[in-house]
Amino acid sequence: MSQKVKIVTDSTLDMRKEEIEQLGITIVPLSVTIGDESYIDGVDITAHEFVNMLVNSDEMPRSSQPSVGSFVEVYDELGKDGSPVLSIHMTSGMSGTYSSAKTAADMSKSDVTVIDSKYISCALGFQVKEASEMAKSGAAVEEIVNRLETVRKNTSLYIMVDTLEYLVKGGRIGRGKALVGSLLKIKPVASLQDGVYTPVSKVRSYMQMVKYMKKRFEEETAGKIVRGMGIAQVEARELAGELRGVIKDSTSFRDIPIVDTTPIISTHTGPGAIAFMYYTDDK
């Protein structure tokens, strides 16, 4: 009798804890270092605590992918009963986590398949949730992987940062551009295209951002079935609530969680950032 597929991911998925437990998902966390102190993401430090430290720190925090050894340990344990393991991770365009997991898969005694989700946050969570639900229903690895390709192709992620400071520190944009942007009070909007942070628009107010994201949502979901949505934010819950209210006027889909994003992501965005994610199926 074949065993059910076990699902593994990393701590950047921004999914509700109760949902993670209910679906039986195993998380291998990243870590973040500020000064001389290191913290395990989602274990040693909360999102709110981290942002306070981020704002008051002179140094740019450094995030670290899980070690190969930590992945091997998890894979060996999950697969010791003969179960195949499917490991789904944040975009390789932003972290070495996928690469670390791939190396571990080759070293593990278990049958491990590793997937680059090409996304982060709730958009990574969409793939992990679909995979977990299919695994619970007895689907095989190949069947799940094929479905995840469809989810990935039909996912959108848009993010707005409130300040350009952290994009400069993280090397995403140059200081000259940031200075001009700050003087003009520009807030960049970007998407993840092929797993890479890609600027797509500029806004000068929160209301312009809300309108832009609503417009993109309506255009990209027209004639399709919305399967999942999520809003991740960094100390911007009120703005996230406004965006959710506007989006609810455009769709009958109602489960739109607002989550505090992981320190791994907020390191690069700083406070005031907001991301809107959704995925669809054809009718």
pLDDT tens, residue by residue, 244-269: 999 999 999 999 999 999 988 888 88
Query: How far, in Å, CA of 148 to CA of 274, rounded?
Result: 25
Distance CA 71, CA 83 (A): 16
Interval 177-193: pLDDT, tens: 444 444 446 788 889 88
| Sheet bearing 85-89, strands edge to edge | 26-28, 6-10, 85-89, 112-116
The pLDDT score that the predictor gives to residue 132 is 97
pLDDT confidence tier of residue 169, bands split at 50, 70 and 90: low
pLDDT band with cut points at 50, 70 and 90 for residue 167: low
Residue 2 predicted with pLDDT over 80:
no
Residue 99 is predicted with a pLDDT of: 97
pLDDT value at position 174?
44
Specify the pLDDT at position 176: 42
Is 170 exposed, middle or buried, given 0-12, 13-18 or 19+ CB atoms closer than 10 A? middle
Lowest mean pLDDT among 121-135, 162-176, 184-198: 162-176
Half-sphere exposure of 33 (CA within 13 A, CB side): 6
Report residue 159 as tokens: 């993010």
d(CA 107, CA 103): 7
Q: What is the pLDDT of residue 85?
A: 98
Q: What is the pLDDT of residue 166?
A: 52
Please give the model's pTM, rounded to 2 decimal places: 0.91
Residue 179's pLDDT is what?
A: 41
pLDDT at 207: 92
* Res. 175 pLDDT band, cuts 50 70 90: very low
- When pLDDT is cut at 50, 70 and 90, the band that residue 137 belongs to is very high
Question: To the nearest whole number, what is the mean pLDDT of the chain?
Answer: 89
Q: Which residues contact 5 (CB under 8 A, 6 or more apart)?
A: 83, 84, 85, 86, 131, 134, 135, 139, 140, 141, 144
**C-alpha to C-alpha distance for 265 and 274, rounded to whole angstroms:** 11
Task: Write down the pLDDT at residue 140.
Answer: 96
pLDDT tens track for 101-116: 999 999 999 999 999 9
